[in-house]
Amino acid sequence: MTPPRLYPLQFEPICQYRLWGGRRLGEWLSVPLPGDGPIGEAWILSDRADHSTLIANGPFKGRTLGQLLDDFPEEIMGALAYPFRRFPLLLKFLDVHQMLSVQVHPSDRNAAYIPPGESGKTEAWVVLEAGSESRIYAGLKPGVTEATLRQALADGTTADQLPCFNPKPGDGVLLPAGAVHSLGGDIVVFEVQQNSDVTFRLYDWDHIDAKTGQRRPLQVDQAMACIDFAQGSIIPSMPVVEEKEPTLRERLFFCEHFGVWRIFGETPFTVGVTATPRVVVCLSGTGRLECDGVHYPIRKGNVLLLPAVVGACLCQPHGVVSLLEISLPNGSSAKR
């Protein structure tokens, strides 16, 4: 039998307990959250051995992203099928009620601190909800060195060494690997990152994990070795308007690991690129994507992977819709 053609793929979220989390992601995912404890992360598109998201729609429903990539590497990834043996990005929703640990991720240059099969981790946040108590810490204040940071850890004044701002919905924050960061105070963000789960904690705000009754471990020496001490303050990125009519299209980030564009439209417009994989995230509104004459409904919180063979799709909004469109790296940063 001829296998089904690929189509815009939607995924079942993988909800993750985090002591700093809340219960608001159910509003974004349109599914009940498990249990009654804090859910800090929903991994919405993940190709990892321990957490591979399940396809939620169409003929391939119930199969994992990893299985589909094994069976259809070129159809999904196009020219990126050889450079990347797994999907190179990990996409999440984060609900950060308390403060996330002050942490750092290694870059690919920190090979000694990266486990086999992992990579460095550059990431970016798009703020979805924030309030007066929300905070983002990103980068280091001028003059902070390893010595001053270690002294601050000993004195309990770590936060004083970090630039801080009150985010607002719509802000985009790019965090290169090696940047010290934290966020919290009732904030919801969408996170785009390299497909890596390597994190070194510097400071954890004296959190006690209700599940263990203990503080979580720190990895101060590893973190110090991976911090980019030349990285100054990080502030929200200034969007670059690439198109105003008939839709507003603005570039939030573009780095060697991913690109992120935000689109506002109320008349039909195109998303995706011919022969290239892209990811589409619906931030608000409703509509549908049209592919090969089939309509795929979209609403707030939906994340769809457009395989390379799908290419560009027509988005037909029902009123005003806001989307993110995410590009993959060009392959030069792949770990073989």
pTM above 0.85, yes or no: yes
**pLDDT for 237-288, tens place per residue?**
999 999 998 899 999 999 999 999 999 999 999 999 999 999 999 999 999 9
**Integer Cα distance of 159 and 98 in angstroms:** 15
**Integer Cα distance of 106 and 120 in angstroms:** 5
Structure tokens at 180: 């010290």
Q: Which residues contact 217 (CB under 8 A, 6 or more apart)?
A: 201
Q: Cα torsion at 256, 260, 261, 264 (round to 10°)? A: 180
Q: Is position 288 annotated as part of the catalytic site? A: no
In a domain, residue 84? The reply is: yes
Q: What is the pLDDT of residue 3?
A: 64
Query: Alpha helix locations (H) across the chain?
Result: 25-29, 65-71, 73-77, 146-155, 220-226
Q: Tell me: do 84 and 204 sit in the same domain.
A: yes
Q: Tell me: do 105 and 172 sit in the same domain.
A: yes
In a domain, residue 333? The reply is: no
Q: What is the pLDDT of residue 222?
A: 98
Q: Tell me: do 138 and 249 sit in the same domain.
A: no
**pLDDT for 69-115, tens place per residue?**
999 999 999 999 988 989 999 999 999 999 999 999 999 999 999 99
> Tokens 């993750």 — which residue?
16
Which of the following is catalytic: 201, 251, 262, 288?
201
Does the pLDDT value for residue 335 go beyond 80?
no
Other residues' Cβ atoms within 10 Å of the Cβ of residue 154: 9
Mean pLDDT for all residues in the chain: 95
First to last CA, the chain: 33
Q: Total structural domains in the chain?
A: 2
| Cα angle, residue 322 at apex, residues 321 and 324 outer, rounded to 5° | 140
Q: Tell me: do 219 and 302 sit in the same domain.
A: no
Q: What is the pLDDT of residue 2?
A: 63
Domain boundary among 171, 197, 226: 226
**Integer Cα distance of 224 and 142 in angstroms:** 17
Alpha-carbon distance values, 275 to 7, 28, 278, 313 (Å) = 13, 30, 10, 12
Give the structural domain span for 284: 240-327
Does the pLDDT value for residue 122 go beyond 50?
yes
